[in-house]
Amino acid sequence: MVKVEIVEEKDEQHNSPYASTSSSRTGSTDSLSSVESDVSVDESLFDRVAALVDIVPPSTRHSISSKVSKTASAVKKTGKVVGNLVWIVTTSALLVVLPLALVLEDDAKLAAHEREMLEQQQGAQMLAGGPSIPDPQQPPRGVVPPGF
């Protein structure tokens, strides 16, 4: 059988945020007071989490560790596959689509230049006095339409 003994510490009783100010204290306040006295002020969050390792049983720790490592491995493999696919798509676009786009742009420039030259020729013919393109509705000059 276990015997529980309450040890009162006069100095830490007043400094503890968990200590009761009343004269009739409960057992839970005593346990909180004793926990606070054991905690170091310089203890970091990582130190506290690392101390929790002792609470979790070894079989559960091993299970959690294996699941985390399997998940990390799957994420790494997936990232590598996605990276390779992005590399393939990017290099294909640079090697196939970019030259094709440049050729199409050159063709569009050439078509625009030809159109501009044709408009210049038509403008020169208009200034010379002749129609640039014969109208299919009008008969050619010097030809008498039938029926006159």
Residue-wise pLDDT for 19-37, tens only, equals 555 544 454 555 555 555 5
Assess whether 83 and 44 both reside in one domain: yes
Contacts of 131 (CB under 8 A, 6+ apart): 125
* CA distances (Å), origin 85, targets 48, 81, 88, 96: 43, 6, 5, 16
- pLDDT tens track for 43-89: 888 888 888 888 888 899 899 999 999 999 999 999 999 999 999 99
Number of domains in the chain: 2
Q: What is the Cα–Cα distance from 72 to 79, expressed in whole angstroms?
A: 10
Does 139 map to a domain? no
| Backbone φ and ψ of 98, nearest 5° | -65, -50
**What does the pLDDT read at residue 104?**
95
Contacts of 61 (CB under 8 A, 6+ apart): 53
Does 133 map to a domain? no
User: What is the domain range of residue 25?
Assistant: 8-39
* pTM summary value: 0.39
Does 132 map to a domain? no
Contacts of 29 (CB under 8 A, 6+ apart): 18, 19, 20
pLDDT (mean) for 1-25: 62
**What does the pLDDT read at residue 115?**
94
Average pLDDT, the chain: 78
Does 16 map to a domain? yes
Among 4, 5, 8, 3, which Cα is nearest to 33's? Answer: 8
Among 38, 49, 45, which Cα is nearest to 16's? Answer: 38
Q: What is the Cα–Cα distance from 138 to 112, expressed in whole angstroms?
A: 31
Assess whether 28 and 86 both reside in one domain: no
Q: Enter the tokens of residue 83.
A: 């990276």
